[in-house]
A and B are shown apart, each in its own frame.
Chain A
Amino acid sequence: MSSEVLLDCKGVWKLYGADLQTFLTRHANAPSDQDLADHNIIGAVRGVDVAIRKGEIFVIMGLSGSGKSTLVRCLSRLIEPNAGTIGYEGRDLLAMSDAELIEVRRRKMGMVFQHFALLPHLTVLQNVAFPLEVQGVDRKRRETDAMRMIETVGLSGREGNYPRQLSGGQQQRVGIARSLVTNPELWFLDEPFSALDPLIRREMQDEFIRLQSMLRKTIVFITHDFDEAIRLADRIAVLKDGRIEQTATPEELMTNPATPYVAEFTRHVDRAKVVRLQSIMTPFTGDGPWSGALPGKLTVAETVAQIDAGEHPFQVLDDAGKPVGMVSARQAIDVMIGRPAQ
């Protein structure tokens, strides 16, 4: 993962109420929650900073009403923020003209919606081809591209159906295919799986992970489900009442919650499924004997059976396959049963 920032959002505010511009100027673009309450103004997004790096899955997590949808719509400029800056590839997204914005959306951005937002009068094929149709791509080419995308999301054979003939999970596959057909580099997903049943949701998450391993997009993923966030994220921003409580990797959140609010979320999550070997390993000493070697990226839950079965500690390898640490059965079991490490 490179650390180049693709989408850089600084001090973004989105308020609902009367006379917002004077209000913001009077409070120097940084009103307190008390100021908002005093003026009867809803602060949907309050001074948010996020920097989304190329190729990462950035999850914005928060309860319903915390401002996630508003934030992601500011990032894609579906909603104009009242204050703040949003840089996209070094260009000022908020200063773009309508024509420029349309161009950026056509070529660089894709978005998936909670309730699918498919066009009811078009078939699956026509829905997926729609973004290309809007760009004026000729019919033959857009249908070939769309067919390929439909195949990628596993809906071959369904291209002649209308959306209402599909299940929720299938409809969202269409939504995903449609958002990817123009091969965008930045992919927004606003609670894409929240409207689905738990089992289907799980299946779609797996599908999502599979797609991302093939496509390597830069992703902004919205969810209210902390488990989902942990499962998918490279980094998570926890949102509460329009403000970001903490931005960190899932592991950092688990091991080091910044506020009691974040800690409350982490309490009920199985740590073993989040904590990776590389964060519990002890420094590499070089002398064996070893029972084997494991990539440091794997989680404790994934490896504990193997580690426990081995007689000796395991080497922990970095991305390049070089041993950087070691881990014993005791350490893994500490995490599993929640015993403080020695």
Chain B
Amino acid sequence: MSDETVNMTPVIETGRPEKGSGGAWVFWTVLFAATWALSTWSFALYKALDARWIIRFPARFALNLDTWITDAVNWLVEDLSFGLFTFRDTTRFLAAIIEAPYDIVRALLIDGFQSGQGQQAVEMFPPLSWLAVIAVMVALARYARDWSLAALVGGCFAYLAIFGQWESAMITLASVLIAVPIGGVGGLLLGVASYRSDRFERALRPVLDLMQTVPVFAYLVPILVLFGFGPVAALIATVIYAMPPMVRNTTVALQSVPEEVIEAGRMMGCGERQLMWKVLIPTALPSIMVGVNQVIMLTLNMVIIASMIGAGGLGYDVLTALRRLDIGGGIEAGVAIVVMAIALDRLSQAFAERRLRPLPDPSLPLHRRHPLATGTLAVVVLTTLSGFFVDGLRTYPEALTVTTGDFWATGIEWINVNFFDAIDAAKNLLLTWVMLPVKQFFSGIPWFWGIAVVGLAAGRLGGWKLGLMAAAMMAFIAASGLWGKAMTTVYLTTVAVFLASLIGIPLGIWAGQNARANSILGAIIDTLQTLPSFVYLIPVVMLFRVGDFSALIAMVLYALAPAVRYAAHGIRSIDPELIEAGRVSGCTRRQMLRRIRVPLAAPSLLLGLNQTIMLALSMLVITALVGTRDLGQEVYIALTKANVGQGLVAGISVAFIAIIADRVVNALARSTRERLGIK
């Protein structure tokens, strides 16, 4: 029996476009052909008609939003006064509130407590010994799970000491210890508020959307202007970046508390506050802790970016190394961030999954009831006090540190020497045959047609409201004079998403059908996702130098994870009965894949695509550092010039592109789901 004669089951039929698919085909072909034609001949058209407005947005209609914003912020900072105090005072006050605890934590971890100023400062109390910090981490891991996690976490922190990263790592840890509680508690409270009030949630949702899609660089600028260069500004930016998922997570966690549990609380006579704090939040706590884990990971993701506006520590080390093209130093500090991210990720995950243990017998003495806590306290006190006398207990002895910088530098150099030709050939191949043609296509599209085509496509897929919104957003970009850079953004994102899907989806499909592949790929993907986005840049720059190509590779690597993950998930969550039905009707393996698994996994694939686009865009902004000429660069320039308006407008433009992509892909996923009858 040949492939084609197999009976099609109803499942397979629903996998195909239904009525009107002929019309759809014509629509998309015409749209594409027109775009292609205009893109190819727009320049010729402009020459022939001498109509410059075809390729440039007319200056007469330009929107000068950026200057307005800059002026407004300047007025805020310089002139606004509330009578008794000025706006400036308010920001200073806020900064002081954050700075005080930060200074204490920093003193505790690394600086020690001093009295007096500058040169005359006398040490009152030493910082915690490095051994004490490791002991606390080990004890936390043991408390949250078991000794093997304790060994992992202890090993990670020991690594930081042995490989000479301790001081920077503690500075980074100090900002994590401040940012995470603020982000966690703030997110929890906002999440509770939006659980309680629908109105509040509706008001908050677009703000969160923007916070998550506007690239970080864009709001670094106003923060820099308002709070000045320094750790406080960095902390504020970090909190803004890390908090939104906590808010969402809290709301969803509270909403998924079973109705019966709430009713039980009411029937036992709980008041509103008791219901929230004694019933709802404790019941939802494991899911809420997942949000805390995300806050931690996003905080670490920010360390390098935050160091642009004054955070020190590992992030700062990476940044300076990148700027100096110091291969060894960059990788060394980058690896230290990764090590720390892995330790804190596993630790916070263990807390989220922690199972409650029976309470200890209250008749035992304290040190028997809580051996871990008392033991750790003893180690902390002993090592720290001995730090007064023994230097090696205070800070890890320098003589015993190992540096890997040279190792990395030689390694990279060796690769560059031996594989230069191969790397260069691959680079040129991709550049000539993929990147340049796509770039020419996108940058040739005249702005007016670009607005129209995005509106038409979005409208066709998601209804006229979406179409109008998308067109308006594109018009905003054009009117802000950012059309060219936006098209570079779109071109890089498109190529990156295409490549990431090309690699990621087959891997995901494989993992979805094969348990072994799944466990191996799962572990790799998990680790990739713990890496701060910035870290991807380091090896890429070392190998491929600066430019679009490096940016592209970093984006593909960073955006790969969701493509794999969602594809695997989609394949795995297909109803096994449908697979059996396919098998019974005699499908071969290939047919099963092509006609049953992939069509049924389509909604999940689309969600993965959505995530891939979002990650690629967020990485793209960071790649401005390696010299792309897109919206990311615009934001980065604004940052270096502290130009609030320019940064925000470019940032909002990136957010608009992200929002359009998000809504369109979601509309596509929704219609696919409806067609397949999956909820």
Contacts and interface: CB of A to CB of B under 8 A. Distances in A.
A134 B269 contact: yes
B279 interface: yes
Contact of B282 (A116, A117, A119): A119
B359 A131 contact: no
A120 interface: yes
Given A119-B261, A162-B356, A105 B283 contact: no
A337 interface: no
Contacts of B8: none
A134 B258 CA distance: 20
A115 B258 contact: yes
Contact of B358 (A114, A121, A130, A161): A161
A293 B279 CA distance: 55
Given A119-B279, A119-B282, A162-B356, A114 B269 contact: no
Interface in B231-283: 258, 260-261, 263-264, 266-271, 274, 278-279, 282-283
B274 A111 contact: no
A121 B268 contact: no
Interface string B530-568: 000000000000000000000000000000000000000
Contacts of B271: 98, 102
Contact of B274 (A120, A134, A182): A134
A103 B269 contact: yes
Given A119-B283, A121-B283, A160-B358, A114 B268 contact: no
A76 interface: yes
Given A123-B359, A134-B274, A78 B260 contact: no
A120 B269 contact: no
A106 interface: yes
B264 A117 contact: yes
B358 A131 contact: no
B285 interface: yes
B269 A121 contact: no
Interface in B315-367: 356, 358-359
A102 B271 CA distance: 7
Contacts of B278: 130, 133-134
B356 A113 contact: no
Contacts of B279: 119
B116 to A, nearest CB: 48
Q: Secondary structure at chain B's binding surface: helix, strand, loop or mixed?
A: helix
Contacts of A105: 266-269
Interface string A64-106: 0000000001001010000000000000000000100011011
Interface residues of B, number: 20
A267 B215 CA distance: 70
B260 A115 contact: yes
A266 B225 CA distance: 80
A110 interface: yes
Contacts of A131: 268-269
Contact of B268 (A73, A134, A161): A134
Contacts of B283: 119-121
Contacts of B266: 78, 105
Contacts of B267: 76, 78, 105, 109-111, 179, 188
A73 B258 CA distance: 15
A102 B260 contact: no
Interface in B131-171: none
A135 interface: yes
Interface string A168-191: 000000000011001000001000
Contacts of A111: 263-264, 267
A179 B260 CA distance: 14
Contacts of B274: 134
Most chain-B Cβ atoms within 10 A of its Cβ — which of A78, A103, A117?
A: A117
Given A119-B283, A121-B285, A135 B269 contact: yes
B268 A106 contact: yes
B268 to A, nearest CB: 4
B356 A121 contact: yes
A95 B336 CA distance: 64
Contacts of A102: 269-271
Interface in A183-220: 188
B356 A73 contact: no
Interface of B: 258, 260-261, 263-264, 266-271, 274, 278-279, 282-283, 285, 356, 358-359
Task: List 10 A-B pairs, minimum CB-CB distance, nearest first.
Answer: A106-B269, A117-B264, A117-B260, A131-B268, A111-B267, A105-B269, A121-B282, A113-B260, A117-B261, A102-B269
28 contacts: A98-B271, A102-B269, A102-B271, A105-B266, A105-B268, A105-B269, A106-B268, A106-B269, A111-B267, A113-B260, A114-B260, A116-B260, A117-B260, A117-B264, A119-B261, A119-B279, A119-B283, A122-B282, A130-B278, A131-B268, A134-B268, A134-B269, A134-B278, A135-B269, A160-B359, A161-B358, A178-B268, A182-B268
Given A111-B263, A131-B269, A134-B274, 6 more contacts: A102-B269, A102-B271, A105-B268, A109-B267, A119-B283, A123-B358
